[in-house]
Structure 1
């Protein structure tokens, strides 16, 4: 009885039977071509060109000359850059508070037998679909130090109010509150969907074993909700690092009143340098540094998520 010699399979090579036909591969490339072209034209090319032009000095009527790292050194010497960077990181930290708030309301709205759930979800989601400019205008009126409703409410209890968005000590946190308020509805919908995907048998079994409501949430619901939390964390960090609308609407320009640098974000500084001072070289370097910051924080989050999944 003879044995047929078989050639050892090369590691990483798929068997011939498992390979998709070439026609199917070409069809797949054809379907993803529009998205690929869009990403290349509107994202990849601008990123590469911005990086290249960040090493050049722009003329007032076009044209540029290579200047090396001069633009980056100029950015690092700007005191307003470090202030805006610190403010942006504070906005990011405040924005992360949106997630526990959204989880809290998602758990409340996910209870069985709760009436009017659809109405509550709609009310929570309305601030997210409202234009940031409109929300900022309304909240700026509420924060008004002379006739704002917030100060009038505090005066009922004898608490003195302040000029919330004009006071450098409170402007950043006042804008941060509006940021959390406007984003809760978006993450609420995602967390409700994540809660719906968790089998109820787990919580019922834990309840039979004598686990309290908090223990069921901490030991069962929260770990099984971690994929949704991870996704929302990534989106939240990227979004808050690019905050501009609320800051621009609710606070004055830093060139008009230097005190408003207390609430200035990096993107607002980008706007001031690009469209007010027309300093294009500094702007390109600033934009690329912001992109590096977002990429670095996203990479760190992915690394931490892998370690968390490994040990939990």
Structure 2
């Protein structure tokens, strides 16, 4: 069933697909809400009883609202309503819930501390095998504030905000669709695609527009996120050593993409389906002011070599490194070492 729309939103198609995929994934996972944990978008699960208590809220939801898990779980979702919430929006919300159909609306919610923020709210019911609604999944997508048509900088900022929302939606959608697939090449390809979306989304974050310190921290966060994405059970012991580096926002975007492909290489072609192992991910500054990205796995390496999306990804990484005037080094025998060495900016091409 297509979600009803209570307002026009250019991002609606992507978010509607996401909330539908979330519902399907949750139904197919035997009710395991933890599949929503890695979504970049604020997502919660609400029990379909009159009080509408929140039974799960992912980390992104807690970040957006400012409330902790202890302050959120068990609360009626109405606790996010504040003095700035339009009663008409609340009525539409209640009617759509009563109708038991997916819907989308724009509503002002309350952050911890009293501040309000307008967001696009997407809700879909989760039905059991007999068709009864047992829970609802909700997604909050903060909207950019209105801008003056003559304020060029503000308009650019609003467009970036919208683009980031789209990227977050696509990243989460890819992740949820991948989890619905059985283990195998198809599911792995979706995980790899999500990792690449993560790098693209990072390059559009506010952190990349600030300074070297923030960009360095963002690259470190990316390494940790991807390591967790590929090793959700914590089977492998991966050390991440990410120090400060100097890079403009544009070069840092390429660094994020290269680092992502190296990490994919580590998990796919280093660890593979083998036993628990050790590995290392490094982001470091060279003595000449350049940057070195490196992954290492002492072995034994996976039996099969690069194939499919990982082979293409390594070719893309190699092309990016060469385009920046650097060297791409890879050795895979009893161990695996993949390394990108980039000169200081201005010294390469």
Which is richer in strand? 2
* TM bucket normalised to smaller: under 0.3
Instruction: Determine which structure has the larger helix proportion and give its number.
Output: 1
TM-score normalised by L of structure 1:
0.26
